Amino acid sequence: MSDRLDRAELAALRTCTCFHLRKASRVVTQVFEEKMQSTGLRVTQLNLLAAISILGPSTINTLADKLAIDRTTLTRNLKLLEQQGSIDITAGRDRRERIASITPEGERALKAAFPLWQDAQSQVVEAIGQDRWCELMTSLSEAVDRIHAIDEPKN
């Protein structure tokens, strides 16, 4: 018995959902990053600022849940935004709870980056095609809901 997978088994990896989603994500992210380079914000940071602006002051747990980001990654990204002066992180009701809120500087950064984000968004939607983009957004949203449902207890 060999310790290696045979070619047929390895060939199955060509259909790896995770690989293909991450590959697509990298390609799309490159478009957004290139467009937004002059702002000093990464697209992930822009989305965090937007979420905090929309939700208002929010706990790290709330942000992690709403954005489907693990707490460690979120905390690392929030720390960068805090160092840039775009957000404040303060203590919550107890010592363990941390609350993120956007600063006036963060609101200005968000406003300055938004037109560049719009340009990138338009470029990606145009490349994909409006109808396919709408289908993709619907499919991705449904996929997230279905995959989250896997971990939910059945009543």
In Å, how far are 12, 89, 106, 114, 125 from 117, measured between CA atoms? 36, 25, 15, 5, 12
Q: What is the pLDDT of residues 108-144, one digit of tens each?
A: 999 999 999 999 999 999 999 999 999 999 999 999 9
Below-70 pLDDT ranges, the chain? 1, 153-155
Tell me if the pTM is above 0.75. yes
Query: Quick one: pLDDT at residue 5?
Result: 84
Q: Give 37's strand partners.
A: none
Instruction: Outline where DSSP puts E strands in 6-140.
Output: 58-59, 87-91, 98-102
pLDDT at 12: 86
